[in-house]
Structure 1
Amino acid sequence: MLPSITPFGGMNLRPRSSGSGGVEEARNALGQRLRELRRRAQLSGKQLAESLSWQPSKVSKIENGKQTPTDDDIEAWTRATDTEHETEALLASLHTLEVQHAEWQRVLKAGMLGHQLELSEQDAKTRLYRSFEPAVVPGLLQTAEFARALFSRAIMVHRVPNDVNDAVAKRMQRQEMLYRTDKAFHFVITEAALRYRLCAVDTMLGQLDRLVSLTSLRNMRLGVIGYETQYVVDPRHGFMIYNSDLVRVETYSAELNLRQSHEIGLYTSTFEKLAAVASYDAAARAVINRAIADLASAQPEDGE
């Protein structure tokens, strides 16, 4: 089965490394703080739930880090436990968690363009981009047609407003930074990303042709890991490293924004190992051209 693709060009697999650890730890810590407030108020979980007209399981899920509370949940909890002086600090913790674990339903509620604008703000602060993708061409390297195909699919999956044209236009505008000499880019993709049928054949051929041309950019390294390559670490999921400050991972349900030093260190080390076995320049173009030839030969000729 082919992997599903996230709204912005990443592979949808739940990270099994420490990538999700920081988010889980933050959610658990918030749940523990709320449990302490309940216990200080000498309320059982059932009593608190009844006072708030909640299902008892909701209190348990929040306290055990299985469910993220909303702002209203936090405010109701502190009222019921007579600890409203804790509300501001708890909301701050919740909002930090929401930045770390940004659910697509919340991020995309106004459409796709808003997220592209947020990415533009990150672009302005970033001088070194490092990206690994095992299943799809990275967003900054996509043609307009390829991006349109992925955005259109995301709109159907997440049922958000259709602003594909504006989102595609913004992504194309963001790509202008690929030609800025004050920025450096290092992309590593697998040969599978060249071959998955994620769009029409003509669209994919145009995308592969663009990748060939991008291999000659002076401020970019584009590596391709061929099928025959022996991996040192497994290509578990895609990720992007911004400078040495942020790692972004896309899952089925959310975008993870990881800032803990040990997480950034792990992903940086993983990227270096993947980059070390990739092919570059003429060797990379050979892998891409091989995929182009195979795809073109599978395309029916006019009239057939």
Structure 2
Amino acid sequence: MSTDYQKAREDLGRRLRELRVESPLGSLTGTELAERLGWPQSKVSKLENGRQTPTSGDLRAWAEATGHAGAFAELHGRLKGFESHIRSWRRQLAAGHRPVQDTWKTLVDDSSTLHKWASFAVDGMLQTADYARHIFEHYAALHCSPRDTEDAVRARMRRQEWLYQPGNQLNVLIWEGALRARVAPAPVLAAQLDRLSGVVGMDTVCLGIVPQDAELALPPGNSFRVIDQRLVVVEDWHAELWIDDADSVATYRRVWETFHASAVFGAEAQHVITQVRRGIERGSA
């Protein structure tokens, strides 16, 4: 997965390796450093190769064990940058929507549990091809990005293969206003709502609808995903915000649980979807 976020983590890993090899105490092997720290050798390897995000305590211990105690401030500064890593849409969409979808597929394929709050549109994992097509067209117009709509739609549909893998779980909450948003023609919206009704009760999907008249402990706010309790991706107009520090991830999980308390599921969710569909049919008559 090639992203700004991952590149920053790999850069930090290379810096950690430099400190180990250039130790004033004498160059240390990964195994020697692991023994000195009381860590498994695999942890040293993962940190140096950008496959694991270190804690502040990890960085302090590494700096001291390699004889570079003064490097901690630099390392900690790099770590703080991970807490709110901005991935601008302008940069991501420079080659169109297809590469973005491919990146997301890689990220999702490496995960088993997703929690999504969808406040403005149906989640991409549950979109029909026609609905996705209109969403991509709207965003391409907004960002003046290359129109690779059909390739992007196919890539998004391939992402949905994840739903049919045993052991995976999508927990998605959708604000009723997102269902009512006229972002596509009425027949496309009706088909999209039929798709949502069809996933109610699916083994790998827990779908909740937050009715517009439900009591809310928080305003709807931006859409976001929590991926395996390790990463949050927040969607905004100009960028995605990738957040992986434990405290912030926990905050977003609390937000998700708050909306979960206001959601309806099963037959009640299908009732809300049906009511929205009838309203769309009346409006297009």
TM-score, normalisation: structure 2:
0.70
The answer to whether 1:181 aligns with 2:166 is yes
State the partner residue of 2:253: 268
**Aligned pairs for 1:115-130 within 5 A:** 115-130=100-115
Structure with greater contact order relative to length (CA < 8 Å, sep ≥ 6): 1
Find the counterpart in structure 2 of residue 221 from structure 1.
206
State how far apart, in whole Å, the 1-side matches of 2:82 and 2:94 are: 18
2-structure distance, mates of 1:136, 1:205: 14
Measure the CA separation in 1 of the matches of 2:109 and 2:157.
15
Give the whole-Å Cα distance in 1 for the aligned partners of 2:123 and 2:204.
16
Q: Tell me how large the CA RMSD over aligned residues is.
A: 2.1
1:156 counterpart residue number: 141
Q: Distance in 1 between matches of 2:223 and 2:210?
A: 14
Give runs of ≥4 in structure 1 deviating > 3 Å: 96-99
CA shift for structure 1 position 99:
8.5
Q: 1:131 aligns with which of 106, 116, 120?
A: 116
Structure 1 residues without counterparts, runs of 5 or longer: 1-88
Q: By how many angstroms is 1:279 displaced? A: 0.3
Q: Does 1:141 align with 2:141?
A: no
Alignment match, 1:254: 239
Maintained 8 Å contact 2:116/2:223: yes
Tell me, in whole angstroms, the C-alpha distance in 2 between the residues paired with 1:155 and 1:232.
34
**Which of 187, 190, 196 is the matching residue for 1:211?**
196
Instruction: Give the aligned length.
Output: 211
Matches of 2:126 and 2:89 in 1, distance apart? Answer: 22
Pairing 1:194–2:188 present? no
Task: Show the counterpart of 1:240.
Answer: 225
Structure 2 partner of 1:231:
216
1:167-221 CA-partner distances (Å, limit 9, x unpaired): 1001001111112221011000111111111111111111111000011201211
**Stretch of structure 1 that moved more, 98-107 or 284-293:** 98-107
Offset from partner CA, 1:122-167 (integer Å, 9 cap, x none)? 1121110000012210111111001000101111111111111111
Distance 2:274 2:232 in 1: 31
Corresponding position of 1:298 = 283
Q: 1:113 to 1:199 in 2, by over 3 A?
A: same
State the distance in 1 between where 2:225 and 2:189 align: 23
What is the deviation of 1:228?
Answer: 2.0
- Other-structure match for 1:107: 92
Q: Counterparts of 2:141 and 2:204 in 1: how far apart (Å)?
A: 36
Distance in 2 between the 1:265 and 1:290 partners?
Answer: 34
In 1, Cα distance between equivalents of 2:251 and 2:157: 31
Give me the whole-angstrom Cα distance separating, in 2, the residues matched to 1:225 and 1:120.
27
Secondary structure of the corresponding residue to residue 213 of structure 2: coil
**Kept after mapping to 1: 8 A contact 2:112/2:168:** yes
Q: Aligned partners of 1:97 and 1:158: how far apart in 2?
A: 25
Change (3 A) 1:221 1:230: same
Q: 1:139 to 1:214 in 2, by over 3 A?
A: same
Counterpart Cα distance in 2 of 1:97 and 1:185: 25
**Whole-Å separation in 2 of the counterparts to 1:99 and 1:105:** 18
CA-CA distance at 1:250 after TM superposition: 1.0
Q: 1: distance between equivalents of 2:220 and 2:180?
A: 16
Secondary structure (helix, strand or coil) at the match of 1:223 reads strand
C-alpha displacement of 1:276: 1.6
In the alignment, structure 2 segments of 5+ residues that lack a partner are: 1-73
> 2:213, 2:82 → 1: CA distance?
41
Q: Percent identity?
A: 29
